[in-house]
Amino acid sequence: GENVEQHPSTLSVQEGDSAVIKCTYSDSASNYFPWYKQELGKRPQLIIDIRSNVGEKKDQRIAVTLNKTAKHFSLHITETQPEDSAVYFCAGNGAGSYQLTFGKGTKLSVIP
């Protein structure tokens, strides 16, 4: 099955700086890669996703890049704000299935 590894496990940045979280996946048939944000005590919520037919996708301060050859994808947050502090999870769908395999999460702290 799919295996997704996520790095780093914790990340601290100064407000206004950029943050980058990286994930690798094992199943070359994976074609859907979502990113979820989970604030303390709340449910994970989708913030951006990318499919294997594109290399990059942007939504305001958030972007995701995908390198299918190297089997890795990354989340980029620019101009970070304190409200970006949360745990972020990446995932891959393995063999194009409906099932998602999640990374272990990155705790992002934005220091004012």
- The residues binding other proteins (CB under 8 A) are 1, 6, 9, 32, 34, 36, 42-46, 49, 89, 93, 98-105
Please report the beta strands in the chain, taking only residues with DSSP state E, as ranges in sequence order: 4-7, 10-14, 19-25, 32-38, 45-51, 56-59, 62-67, 72-77, 86-92, 101-102, 106-111
The CB-of-4 to other proteins minimum distance in angstroms stands at 9
The CB-of-48 to other proteins minimum distance in angstroms stands at 11
The CB-of-46 to other proteins minimum distance in angstroms stands at 6
**Pick 58 or 104: Cβ nearer other proteins:** 104
| Distance, CA of 92 to CA of 4 (rounded, Å) | 7
**Pick 6 or 80: Cβ nearer other proteins:** 6
**Pick 1 or 112: Cβ nearer other proteins:** 1
Paired residues of 22 in beta bridges = 7, 74
Question: Any idea which residue has 């944000």 for tokens?
Answer: 37
